[in-house]
Amino acid sequence: MGKFRVVHYINQFFAGLGGEEKADIPPQDREGPVGPGLAFNAAFAGEAEIVGTVICGDSYFNEHREEAEAEVLERIKKYDPDLLVAGPAFNAGRYGMACGSVCKAAREILNIPTVTGMFPENPGVEVFKKDVYIVRTAGSAAGMRDAVPKMAKLALKLVKGEPLGTPAEEGYIPRGIRKNVFVEERGAKRAVDMLVKKLNGEPFETEYPMPDFDRVPPAPAVKDLSRATVALVTSGGIVPKGNPDKIEASSASRFGKYDIEGVDCLTPERFQTAHGGYDPTYANQDPNRVLPVDVMRELEREGVIGRLHRYYYATVGNGTSVANARKYAQAIARELIADGVQAVILTST
């Protein structure tokens, strides 16, 4: 039997076409490996080879999901592959969403095994982990050397039809699928053994890992709102008309800061939403529905609050990674504290 035929899906950055300024390029393909595909070819150790590379800009894919997915599949199909490898996307949210979409579609429509790689906090993980094998990676491309061999090993197992071990053994993120297995000791004894180890401060591995929620204690109440400066922050994507900072409709890579000094009401002539995760019709008709500047001005005039902060901050929460959201929040909080803001109203969709 000859080598397995592999198609590799990557974004504009890893194809060497450019960064954010090239994120809107439509799908294209090239014969053979490109960029990290060279490392995959080496990791396949002669058992498989990349016969074609399909490339698409992250913004283009996420803003034209149906059309982009269909064209990418056609470009994959023409190479008659046995296997698809996508990424790795690390913690790049738009890239992760594209890799997950392409892998899921290729498995369902082309009926070939697929593998991608992502950092666990990439939003693509939560959306696609039940449908796609996603190898756990580092948060940045610095982890490429570690990610490629793991992805290649899992990909070869899948294309050969070999049985897989547990997610921990194979290196992929758990998919929520449970299988019955026989073990030497009954559950009661295993549970007691784990409890004893926990009480003794010894390491142990649970058989039922629980989700790890990031709990944030609430801040103390504002003592006197009538003297407080209150700011508005939104993940609902309300931006000045034309979206001057080009905040992405999904998996935002930035936030914006906008001056509303002297603005009593957000009008559709001056403001819009950049959000791609909900029907924008009503937000565009009346942006105050997402960012309530009109109500805040009323509260300001009535003396309920001291004043509305001169600037508001906006980003798009749709598909944005937890790491990026945390980074934006920390940067915004530093500015608000420096400006003497005592309270923040965070609005969403």
For residues 89 and 287, the answer to whether their CB atoms sit within 8 Å is no
Tokens of residue 337, six digits: 């504290």
pLDDT in tens, 201-248: 999 988 877 777 778 888 899 999 999 999 999 999 999 999 999 998
Quote the pLDDT of residue 123.
87
Q: How far apart are CA 40 and CA 53, in angstroms?
A: 12
pLDDT in tens, 92-139: 888 999 999 999 999 999 999 999 999 998 989 988 999 999 999 998
Q: How far apart are CA 327 and CA 255, in angstroms?
A: 10
Q: What domains, with CATH codes, occur in the chain?
A: 4-170 (3.40.50.2300), 225-347 (no CATH)
Q: How far apart are CA 36 and CA 50, in angstroms?
A: 11
The pTM of this model reads: 0.73
Quote the pLDDT of residue 1.
59
Instruction: Identify the helix (H) or strand (E) that includes residue 76.
Output: helix 65-77
Quote the pLDDT of residue 310.
97
Q: How far apart are CA 298 and CA 321, in angstroms?
A: 35
Tokens of residue 73, six digits: 């599949």
DSSP code of 109?
A: I
CB-based burial, 67-83: b 16+ in 10 Å, e otherwise: ebbebbbebbeebebbb
**Plot region of 172 (φ>0 → left; ψ -120 to 50 → alpha; else → beta):** beta
Q: Among 251, 254, 27, which Cα is nearest to 118's?
A: 251
Kindly tell me if the per-residue pLDDT of 250 is higher than 90. no
pLDDT in tens, 259-313: 999 999 999 999 999 998 888 899 999 999 999 999 999 999 999 999 999 999 9
